[in-house]
Structure 1
Amino acid sequence: MTQVDFIHVQKFLSGVDYPATKDQLLEHGKRQGADKQAMEALKRLPEKEYDGPNAVSKALAGS
């Protein structure tokens, strides 16, 4: 995933209370109106708890 894609996903994760699980990130993205591209990226995240946006960025870069 490119930096631009990550910024696109983060736009829909604004306001997330970290730490957050993959399921919490998916639910928040859905509530924020995340588009298909962003939701697909979030679905590729490993099942774990993320302590902040940087952790999500690193996980997305590896997916």
Structure 2
Amino acid sequence: MKLHDTGGIKSALNDLDFPAAKEQIVEHARRRGVGRDADQALSALPRGEYASLREVLRSVPLDPAPGRSETERTAQRRRAKPGLAEHERPARPSPIEDELRRRP
């Protein structure tokens, strides 16, 4: 679950004493009536102890472009190819280089 805005989390956790474990953070947010999306995002946090609200907010996945439709997001995922950068890939020789190598 990716959030568009962390404002709900900030207001729900502003009075929580840190450091706090993930379970404490989720329970505190639920008691404060955090929204469904924020609750899901907090529940998806990695287990562990968080030293500050800032650390919690850094760990919550944010949607970088909330205005895009699901179709646009899918198209972008299809275009993105994981792997090596172009300059790290082995380069194939050009057809001219191939021709020159074949000639005696």
TM, length-normalised to structure 1? 0.82
How many angstroms does 1:61 deviate by? 3.8
Distance 2:19 2:27 in 1: 14
User: What root-mean-square deviation, in Å, do the aligned CA atoms of Structure 1 and Structure 2 show?
Assistant: 1.7
Structure 2 residue runs without a partner (length 5+): 63-104
Runs of 4+ in 1 over 3 A off after TM superposition: none
Q: Judging by fraction of residues, say which structure has more helix.
A: 1
In structure 1, the gaps of 5 or more residues are none
**Percent identity for Structure 1 against Structure 2:** 31
Task: Return the structure number with greater relative CO, CA threshold 8 A, min gap 6.
Answer: 1
Asked if 1:16 is matched to 2:16, the reply is yes
User: In the alignment, what sits opposite 1:32?
Assistant: 32
Assess if the C-alpha contact under 8 Å between 1:12 and 1:34 holds in 2.
Answer: yes
Aligned length: 61
